[in-house]
Structure 1
């Protein structure tokens, strides 16, 4: 991992990006000594997105298993406090 200031990066961006692409090591970017960004390889970027997609799918599966239940229309109307007869009236 390498660290580069914004000031340094202005003159060395191509070199830093090619280094990240060749080695797979990320480059930390700083502004006034504070870490503000990271340059990563496209392979790492794609892996991060794959992991995020899997995590989202697992979270959605857990939500569906734990919080969602099927119910009949009459049960739903009762839960909402709606009179089914009032809906049927013309």
Structure 2
């Protein structure tokens, strides 16, 4: 089971790198915001998978805190995009 989790961790890391490209090169601010949300979500899943591999429960707390910070950041960025006109 550990080999499957390690493969999934590597795959998620590749997806995060692809999302970083979209966050940098996105044609619009909305595309960048969605890419940042995807990066945040995949990072949370990645932290939880690492928690399973290492059998450490405190990583779950770290993932929850990261989820809260990611949500607040998304709301702030969305409000900023709305103020400037979305482009």
TM normalised by structure 2 equals: 0.35
More helix by share: 2
Structure possessing the higher relative contact order (Cα contacts under 8 Å, 6 or more residues apart)? 2
User: If you compute each CA radius of gyration, which structure gives the higher value, 1 or 2?
Assistant: 1
TM-score for the superposition, normalised by structure 1: 0.34
